Structure 1
């Protein structure tokens, strides 16, 4: 890809981000994107095969960040619990801060991913994130139960329900366009609330 193509693609993604933010994926217009970039619709399709391919490219940094976070979650849970105990693992304020920092590093991509993706393969992405965290958490819970550590048993549906509530609450910062400082404050509030809930629910 030559420099001109690279520059055009960057401009397409910049313009498309604004179009998706304003109209959501479903109502975004490829013709408007092409016009604002200064190319024809035909030329736009030479760069991206369809509207969803553009959306994919725009939200990819956010998707990759969450994939990395989910892969690290199992390691985080195990390491924190072994070093500091279960209570510290469930009330890890640093984890809440990491999520805020992850989101605000590329806020627009996260806004599109979680709030403007209806009609794309990402419209249930929060559910996918929760399912991955749930899988890691249930695996770890089984490990500690097998070691004889007394905690209340939690089935998959219960775990999914509570994790969904927790992550949905945290992502309200995106839905309501909180400032970074507001997000840090309220994410801490959510974390404190759920820490007490997890402690009571799991019995530790």
Structure 2
């Protein structure tokens, strides 16, 4: 078997092992056995269990990072070109997140439900922090243009964002179907939109 084929098989077997047991309880020895190689041979392909997990969740990480960049530009662009009201009535972001998640649901499941013991176990915090930074930058831009904005406690904002994104990620935790996720994310978007408008004051 060629090296590339072996690496692909390792990832396939490891994905199943992580999905069943989570990162902490997954065994490199078990993965090697199911691949049909020794543990020593497995370590020649991947230096650690962490390296295998990194390779598996990389597409999900890339997806979220792209979402941060493109959605920040799109929403800010909507507000600049069509006004703040147009931005508030834009429901695309929540639906785009659903589409991104369901393009590779198992990888998202690994990232958010099976990553305890890895550097990704608090990835929700990473998401919330990046959204918060982008929101505060946009608010500063609006204030410079004379828009009245409520004083915002950053810890309070982080708390609300955490609640919003935790609720959205329940679709992964509870294995919602795509149609269920699409329906419920619209409900969440409507609910949090009104809360955010009152909280931020614009």
Aligned to 2:191: 193
Aligned to 2:148: 150
1:54 counterpart = 2:41: no
* Counterparts of residues 97-176 of structure 1 (less than 5 Å): 97-176=95-174
Residue 101 of structure 1: how far off its partner (Å): 0.8
Aligned to 2:9: 11
1:184 counterpart = 2:182: yes
The CA deviation string for residues 70-97 of structure 1, in whole angstroms up to 9 with x for no partner, is 1223312311211233233244311111
Aligned to 1:29: 27
1:34/1:40 contact within 8 Å kept: yes
Q: TM-score, normalised by structure 2?
A: 0.95
Residue 109 of structure 1: how far off its partner (Å): 0.9
Corresponding residue pairs, total? 202
Judged with a 3 Å threshold, the aligned counterparts in structure 2 of structure 1 residues 87 and 62 are, in CA distance, closer, same or farther, namely same
Give the whole-Å Cα distance in 1 for the aligned partners of 2:24 and 2:86: 42
Give the whole-Å Cα distance in 1 for the aligned partners of 2:38 and 2:134: 47
- CA-based RMSD of the aligned residues comes to 1.3
Q: TM-score, normalised by structure 1?
A: 0.94
* Runs of 4+ with >4 A deviation: none
1:87/1:199 contact within 8 Å kept: no
Where does the alignment leave 5 or more consecutive residues of structure 1 unmatched? none
Give the whole-Å Cα distance in 1 for the aligned partners of 2:75 and 2:35: 46
1:73/1:133 contact within 8 Å kept: no
Aligned to 2:39: 41
Aligned to 1:74: 72
Residue 203 of structure 1: how far off its partner (Å): 2.2
